Amino acid sequence: MPNTIQVSGIPAFKDNYIWVIHDDRHAVVVDPGDATPVLRFLQDQGLTLAAVLVTHHHADHVDGLSRLLAKTAVPVFGPCNEDIDEVTDPVGEPDHITLPHLDVSMGVIDVPGHTAGHIAYYGEGRLFCGDTLFACGCGRIFEGTPAQMFNSLDKLAALPENTSVYCAHEYTLSNIAFAQAVEPDNLQLHERAIAAAETRRQGKPTVPSTLQMEMATNPFLRSRIPAIAQAVESHTGTHPADTIAVFAALRQWKNTF
């Protein structure tokens, strides 16, 4: 992105982040589940809303739309395979969009699994992936299949490793605790646990992370690694038939961790 572009995180609800891509005049807001903190941020920073990006239909990602749009009517990009009333510009892979006023171009990636029509936005080294990929974790599979979620995460894993990953929740510490149960001998994961705990102790966000960090420590991107399959086998007592079975068992394990 041009140097003048920044990304700021607005904490919302208990553990959401609403990301704002902005320069010193215009702002594009990602997944505004709540309008109040967004309107306050825009006012404090003297920013004009230029557009909204939506990744999926869950209330904590879209419920702020109507109030935001009542104040300023702007284009709302969102998944073409989900029903979201406020979306004006339905998009899906392989669409590219240009963020109005910011001169930033982003590609749309279909990442079904958490919801059936979930999309992610990637541009100039930054990934906005909603509830698909989390720092050291992944979203719950509510509407898709494990195979779909696995393929979606695979697409994200194929992005450049220096990509900054802007996920929508601060779940990192509990995700790391699970990852350590799965892969206790992963040294980089151990270091990440210490660093993330300190970051949270200081009240700071642990996101964005980088794709490189996720590849090294996130068990859901590591289903192909023998140690992970081994851990799943020990936990479930059954031999997973293939990599997707490893991934599915891992997701199931996390659901009850």
Q: What does the binding site for Zn ion look like in residue numbers (CB under 5 A)?
A: 58, 131
d(CA 127, CA 175): 19
Query: Toward Zn ion, which CB reaches closer, 171 or 178?
Result: 171
Q: Which of 31, 34, 110, 131 is catalytic?
A: 131
Least separation in angstroms between CB 102 and Zn ion:
25
Least separation in angstroms between CB 131 and Zn ion:
4
Q: Which of 22, 26, 57, 114 is catalytic?
A: 114
Question: For residues 180 and 190, is the Cβ–Cβ distance under 8 A?
Answer: yes
Q: Which of 31, 58, 110, 118 is catalytic?
A: 58
56 is an active site residue: yes
Query: Toward Zn ion, which CB reaches closer, 58 or 254?
Result: 58
d(CA 209, CA 252): 24
Least separation in angstroms between CB 132 and Zn ion:
9
61 is an active site residue: yes
Query: Toward Zn ion, which CB reaches closer, 110 or 131?
Result: 131
d(CA 139, CA 118): 11
DSSP 126-165: EEEEETSEETTEE---SSS-HHHHHHHHHHHHTS-TT-EE
DSSP 169: B
Q: Which of 56, 57, 110, 118 is catalytic?
A: 56
- Torsion from C-alpha of 225, 227, 230, 234, nearest 10 degrees: -140
Query: Toward Zn ion, which CB reaches closer, 34 or 131?
Result: 131
Least separation in angstroms between CB 56 and Zn ion:
6
Tokens 């992970």 label which residue?
228
Least separation in angstroms between CB 52 and Zn ion:
16
58 is an active site residue: yes
Which among 125, 205, 204 has a CA at the least distance from the CA of 162? 125
**Token pair belonging to 203:** 């009240």
Q: Which of 26, 57, 61, 118 is catalytic?
A: 61
- Cβ count near 1 (within 10 Å): 18
DSSP H stretches of helix in 103-242: 146-157, 172-182, 187-201, 211-217, 226-236
**Token pair belonging to 163:** 């990509």
60 is an active site residue: yes
Query: Toward Zn ion, which CB reaches closer, 111 or 179?
Result: 111
Residues identified as active-site: 56, 58, 60-61, 114, 131, 169
